[in-house]
Amino acid sequence: MNKTLNASELKEFLDSKVEQYNNPKFIESDPIQIPHTFSQKEDIEISGFLTATIAWGNRKSIINNANKLMELLDNSPYDFVVNHTETDLEKLLPFVHRTFNGLDCIQFIKSMQHIYKHYEGLEGVFAKYAEENSVQTSISKFKSTFFEIDHLKRTQKHISDPLKNSAAKRINMFLRWMVRDDNAGVDFGIWKTINSSQLSCPLDVHSGNVARKLGILTRKQNDAKALLELDTSLRKLDSTDPVKYDFALFGLGVFEGF
């Protein structure tokens, strides 16, 4: 397909796919539905962060387990994070999604409490280190801030580090949710200190394969180098909102088997 589409045809094709998928219908089958059940900023970002953290594997099971997790947090994630007692944390022990277990969950709650008490919440940490056209250093700094308190070593693997060549798909997805103001009611746009132009496309098996077929990605591995290559291609198509093409790549891969 990349042999036949020139740059303007490619943009037209992908823009039409963004329009097709970037609408409220998308929410019904996507983990983004979890933060959509909340209205307070902090509840949205904490539920979104936890949901994105476990967003790998089967989408139904991601959604089911994220719902279970919200119930364990009394459906008030911010209040739970800031005000929990040691006893409150015990009920999280049975939680499990793939390799993310109750101990990891408890560590995440403690680390987030630290971030809300000592920094300006999740947004504050990401915004502090964001660069003009990238949030990848920001993600790495976020990880070190997240684990600057006493923590379980095993939990570190649940936050990716782009400076160690990870594509950090789940955190890039979370940042899209929080930052991108899409006027379509899918992404939230509640973080005003970072711009859409700084974001990176969540790169996974589906979006990577579609991008390769379209000729906007050549690198074989889905790693930080591939992400930079994909970002560079997408910024040429739309420099202010490159990450909107996540909807096109994801939709083509998952719904259309492109």
| Model pLDDT for residues 161-177, shown as the tens digit of each residue | 999 999 999 999 999 99
| Model pLDDT for residues 67-86, shown as the tens digit of each residue | 999 999 999 999 999 999 99
**Burial of 87 per CB tally in 10 Å (0-12, 13-18, 19+):** exposed
With a cut of 90, say whether residue 237 has pLDDT above it. Answer: yes
The residue extents of the domains of the chain are 7-255
With a cut of 90, say whether residue 4 has pLDDT above it. Answer: no
Hey, CA dihedral for 95, 100, 101, 106, is it positive or negative? negative
| Model pLDDT for residues 31-69, shown as the tens digit of each residue | 999 999 999 999 999 999 999 999 998 999 999 999 999
**Which residues have a Cβ under 8 Å from the Cβ of 144 and sit 6 or more positions away?**
none
User: Would you state the pLDDT for residue 7?
Assistant: 87
Calculate ∠ Cα 28-177-126, nearest 5°: 155
What is the Cβ-side half-sphere exposure of residue 103, based on CA atoms within 13 angstroms?
8
User: Would you state the pLDDT for residue 79?
Assistant: 98
**Region class of 97: left (phi > 0), else alpha (psi between -120 and 50), else beta:** beta
